[in-house]
Structure 1
Amino acid sequence: MIVEGTVLRGPELEPIRGRVVVEDGVITAVEEADVYSDDIVLPAFVNAHTHIGDSIAKEAGAGLSLDELVAPPDGLKHQLLRAASREETVDAMRRSLRLMSETGTAACIEFREGGVEGVEYIREAAASLPIDPVVLGRESEDAMHASDGFGASGARDADFDRLRNATREAEKLFGIHAGERDPHDINAALDLDPDFLVHMVHPEPLHYERLADNDIPVVVCPRSNLVTGVGVPPIRELTERTTVALGTDNVMLNSPSMFREMEFAAKLADVSASEVLQMATVNGAEIAGLNYGVIEPDREAKLLVLDGDSDNLAGAQDVVRAVVRRAGAADVRDVIV
């Protein structure tokens, strides 16, 4: 397979005119060449933080606080999850995963409620779809062993030392929410030496130092943080200290659209378009341990092809900026996964 157009090459997403050569699902060459295609070829997205089960409760709970919406065990979303049947939940999750795959997301890092059964739900929902959920079980060590790791709610909710050690021994991924409502749970989360943190809306100087010293990545979810009223993450300050990736968080509150998340982050924060696109591709893939998110030889060919001659994108003077700040589902020509 050969894909031609303006290719956003390598981890720096350098725009070149040329082609991507794919054999048996792997990129074998990225070549500069005179080509006639107006297409824009970029890495498929990695959505680095999702709660796909919330698909059963879209736009529920208007006006509620963060705790009233999502805090375990009695936040509204947990009540709705318990009330829904397996068929209802799996179908709703499948719809969100299908939307994500059709709009260029190759993988998501899913914090999966419901223990082992919850892990089974998302495996079933994704089984027929070209998307790879990296599933982090919650609530029990069994859920961690049944999935790709453990996704902790937050250090103020429980003592996660035992689960952290078990996850490390299993050589699986451990992520934890931190600094979403206030800074008071950040040090305890960092003490666990997690593979990544989620949110970090309220870091203080000591937390920045610890992030940098220990090279702990952060996943930010700015649309979700704004909707829940907790503030917005200091994206510029975080990117100066560690790897930062982008997630869409609860489907209850936001569509799982990386296009929308990128645009919001780019217009909110003092970061370049290239940095935001890295947050949506290579950085999320790096956190999840995936061999894609970058267009270069020997990477899996997970690609998103946009119509550069669409009414929305035609005439763009800066291709990367246009992809980040204005591209959307209507501009998708093909998703190669």
Structure 2
Amino acid sequence: MELTGTVLAGPEYEPLEGRVVVEDGEIAAVEETETESTDIVCPAFVNAHTHVGDSIAKEAGRGLTLEELVGPPDGLKHRLLRETSREEKVEAMARSLSFMESAGTAAFLEFREGGVEGVEALDDAAAGLDVEPVVFGRETVDVLEVADGFGASGAHDDDFTAERVAAREAGKPFAIHAGEVGPDDIDPALDLDPAFLVHMVHAESMHLDRVADSDTPVVVCPRSNLVTGVGLPPVEALAERTTVALGTDNVFLNSPSMFREMEFAAKLFDVEAPEVLRMATAAGAEIAGLDCGVVEPGRPARLVVLDGDSDNLAGVRDPVRAVVRRAGVDDVKRVLLP
């Protein structure tokens, strides 16, 4: 198989007129050559933080605080999840995953409520789809038997030492929310030596130093932070110190579209388009231990082909900026997720 057009090639996403040769689900070659194709070929996205269980209640909770929305155990989302049948949850999640796949997402890192049953429900929702879930189970230690890791709500909610020890013994990553509503839970979160932190809206200089010293990756979710009114993460400062990836967070607050997340981040923060694209692709893949996010030989051919001649993209002069700041789901021509 050959994909032709402008290829955003290599770890720097350099625009290259040419073709990508795919053999047996792998990128066999990236070649520079003249082509009449106006397509744009880029790596498929990795959504580095989601709560797709919230698909049961999209746009619920208008006017509520973050604690009222998602605070365990009695925030709105938790009450709704308890009231909803397993069948309804699976169907709602499957619809969101189908959208994510059609929008070019290759994989997503999910903080999944509901313990073992919650992870198994997500597995059922993902059955038959090519988008890959990387599931961080929650609530009970035994969830590590079926999940890819453990995802903690935050150091203010509980002492997660036992869960951290259990994850280490299981050889699986431990991740935790930190600094979403204030700075006080960041040091306790870092003390747990997590695989990555989520949010870090209220990171102060001493926290940034600790992140740099420990080389702890951070997943930021700026659209979600804006919606919940907690502020915005210091993306530029974080990006100077560690790996930063983008996530869309709760589905009931935001569409799980990486196009929207990239555009928001690129226009709000002083970060160049190639770096934002990396946050939406290779950075999330790196955190998840996946070998994707870069268009180069030897990588899995997890790719998105955009129609460069769509009404939205026709006339684009800078294809990387176009993918990050302008493109949308309607511009997707083809998604390859072997």
Q: Which residue of 2 aligns with 1:269?
A: 269
What's the offset of the Cα at 1:8? 0.6
Within 5 Å, give how 1:32-43 maps onto structure 2. Answer: 32-43=32-43
What's the offset of the Cα at 1:10? 1.0
Q: Which residue of 2 aligns with 1:148?
A: 148
What's the offset of the Cα at 1:174? 1.4
Tell me the distance in 2 between the aligned counterparts of 1:317 and 1:299: 28
What's the offset of the Cα at 1:28? 1.3
Tell me the distance in 2 between the aligned counterparts of 1:257 and 1:60: 18
* Residues 173 and 288, structure 1, Cα contact 8 Å, conserved in 2: no
C-alpha deviations, 1:77-126, integer Å up to 9, x for none?
00000000011000000000000000100100000000000000100000
- SS of structure 2 residue aligned to 1:50: strand
Matched, 1:93 2:102: no
Q: Which residue of 2 aligns with 1:256?
A: 256
Q: Which residue of 1 aligns with 2:133?
A: 133
Unmatched 5+ stretches in structure 2:
none
One-letter amino acid of the counterpart of residue 117, structure 1? E
One-letter amino acid of the counterpart of residue 304, structure 2? L
Within 5 Å, give how 1:128-277 maps onto structure 2. Answer: 128-277=128-277
What's the offset of the Cα at 1:297? 1.3
What's the offset of the Cα at 1:306? 0.1
Q: Which residue of 1 aligns with 2:27?
A: 27
C-alpha deviations, 1:252-297, integer Å up to 9, x for none?
1001010100000011100001111000000000000001111111
- SS of structure 2 residue aligned to 1:175: strand
Tell me the distance in 2 between the aligned counterparts of 1:119 and 1:63: 30
One-letter amino acid of the counterpart of residue 89, structure 1? K
Unmatched 5+ stretches in structure 1:
none
- SS of structure 2 residue aligned to 1:19: strand
- SS of structure 2 residue aligned to 1:308: coil
Matched, 1:110 2:87: no
Matched, 1:73 2:60: no
Matched, 1:121 2:121: yes
C-alpha deviations, 1:189-212, integer Å up to 9, x for none?
000110100000000111010111
Tell me the distance in 2 between the aligned counterparts of 1:75 and 1:153: 13
Tell me the distance in 2 between the aligned counterparts of 1:150 and 1:38: 43
What's the offset of the Cα at 1:172? 1.2
One-letter amino acid of the counterpart of residue 68, structure 1? E
Q: Which residue of 2 aligns with 1:326?
A: 326
Tell me the distance in 2 between the aligned counterparts of 1:23 and 1:128: 22
- SS of structure 1 residue aligned to 2:108: strand
What's the offset of the Cα at 1:166? 1.4
- SS of structure 2 residue aligned to 1:117: helix
Q: Which residue of 1 aligns with 2:280?
A: 280
One-letter amino acid of the counterpart of residue 92, structure 1? A
What's the offset of the Cα at 1:188? 0.4
Percent sequence identity over aligned pairs:
70
- SS of structure 2 residue aligned to 1:62: coil
- SS of structure 2 residue aligned to 1:313: coil
Greater than 6 Å deviation, 4+ residue runs: none
One-letter amino acid of the counterpart of residue 99, structure 1? F
- SS of structure 1 residue aligned to 2:292: coil
What's the offset of the Cα at 1:130? 1.1
What's the offset of the Cα at 1:29? 1.1
* Residues 46 and 284, structure 1, Cα contact 8 Å, conserved in 2: yes
One-letter amino acid of the counterpart of residue 61, structure 1? G
Tell me the distance in 2 between the aligned counterparts of 1:160 and 1:295: 38
* Residues 47 and 105, structure 1, Cα contact 8 Å, conserved in 2: yes
Tell me the distance in 1 between the aligned counterparts of 2:213 and 2:239: 14
Q: TM-score scaled to structure 2, two decimals?
A: 0.99
Q: Which residue of 1 aligns with 2:300?
A: 300
What's the offset of the Cα at 1:319? 0.7
What's the offset of the Cα at 1:11? 1.2
Q: Which residue of 1 aligns with 2:64?
A: 64
